[in-house]
Structure 1
């Protein structure tokens, strides 16, 4: 079993999250604009419709896990796995991974672990989560500037527990693109068409989202009351 030393603590692989609340909104964006945003990674977006890629905005309250308790926000894109021939249409989802473009957190231990173990683009930010009502809200500020205010509405319950097929998360740091094996088990999931409201601030990431066409109607949104995750050893591409 591989292990790593982070801030004087030993972390054994795989790293586990035992309980987290996760809220997501999936937005259709112009594929050419998304390609420009992630060109540095060497990856290509998955075109789920002609000329359309998917930008995923997600916020999470990590309540119990190997990286302690913390809040996190993520901006990611569905991408085509390297080596898979390019195609267009919903079938692209079968071969898609998730490229994590930006991943602010509010605690230093997960910041260092995420960067050094997997190359996640973690930065410190002020992440205010309001999760006690059915309407889940994230207010994200970085360097004293508002990035966004995102509200996810309640949806239709998905019965029982579900295990997502193993996903590949892709990262890029220090000139290297990596792939991170990732599995998720979800309980208390809800999904609804659209279901998200977003207000952008004046931070450079807000400008990037604006250039992708946001604010706009989401394809769908989801909430998961209890998620358990497992992150394996990163591999260089």
Structure 2
């Protein structure tokens, strides 16, 4: 069984998350602009419609996990599996094989930062992440070096029925010149989904500028809120 030594603690794979709240919004963006943003990874975006890619903004409160409790914000893009050929198919069917490339992933705790970078190559960095999840509206405010990056507000939608079956997920990361594939699973409960449902205010940080160049803020395609348990297994080459 694989393990890693992080700050004097042994972390055994797979890493388990027992309880987390996950809030996300998916945005249709220009595929050429998204390709330019993630060109360094060697991956290609999945086009859900001709010329359109998906950028997902997500914030997570990890209440109980092998990497302790912490807050996280993420910017990710749906991408085609490596080696899927040169033809850029477009359409909803591309979602079945798409993975999520994690472009930016600030966290608010040092242990998960080191673990995420060392074990999987996640592009974690420290930031101030304020989460307000107790009210009907879910809010996340991210600042770094005293500068506002994003202020995001989600309005949960209607409940989605169904058992909390394990859903396999594929994440891709890139750090220190290496692109990796991270297999994961998620057990969701209390899921709510709605079209639109997100308000975004961008600050003056370079990441905010990058998001504005993708066309944000704009109407979200869909927002999702849920409680989840997860596992993250050993990363391999993409």
TM-score, normalisation: structure 2: 0.97
How far off its partner does 1:164 sit? 5.4
Aligned to 2:10: 10
| Distance in 1, Cα, partners of 2:51 & 2:43 | 16
Gaps of 5+ in 1: none
| Distance in 2, Cα, partners of 1:154 & 1:132 | 12
Aligned to 1:111: 113
Aligned to 1:189: 191
Aligned to 1:30: 30
Aligned to 1:93: 95
How far off its partner does 1:160 sit? 3.9
| Distance in 2, Cα, partners of 1:160 & 1:47 | 28
Aligned to 2:211: 209
Deviations 1:173-232 (A, max 9, x none): 0000000001101111100001100000000000000000000000000100x2000000
Aligned to 2:40: 40
Aligned to 2:172: 170
Deviations 1:40-81 (A, max 9, x none): 000000000010000000001000010000000000000001
Check conservation: 1:84, 1:95, Cα contact below 8 A: no
Aligned to 1:54: 54
| Distance in 1, Cα, partners of 2:55 & 2:166 | 19
Aligned to 2:146: 144
DSSP 3-state at the match of 2:116: helix
Aligned to 2:83: 83
1:220 aligned onto 2:238: no
Aligned to 2:159: 157
Aligned to 1:233: 234
| Distance in 2, Cα, partners of 1:142 & 1:213 | 22
| Distance in 1, Cα, partners of 2:69 & 2:32 | 37
Deviations 1:120-177 (A, max 9, x none): 0000000000000110000110111100100010200012433353111000000000
In the alignment of these two chains, the number of paired residues is 236
Check conservation: 1:35, 1:44, Cα contact below 8 A: yes
Aligned to 2:70: 70
Aligned to 1:124: 126
| Distance in 1, Cα, partners of 2:84 & 2:111 | 36
DSSP 3-state at the match of 1:210: helix
| Distance in 1, Cα, partners of 2:160 & 2:91 | 25
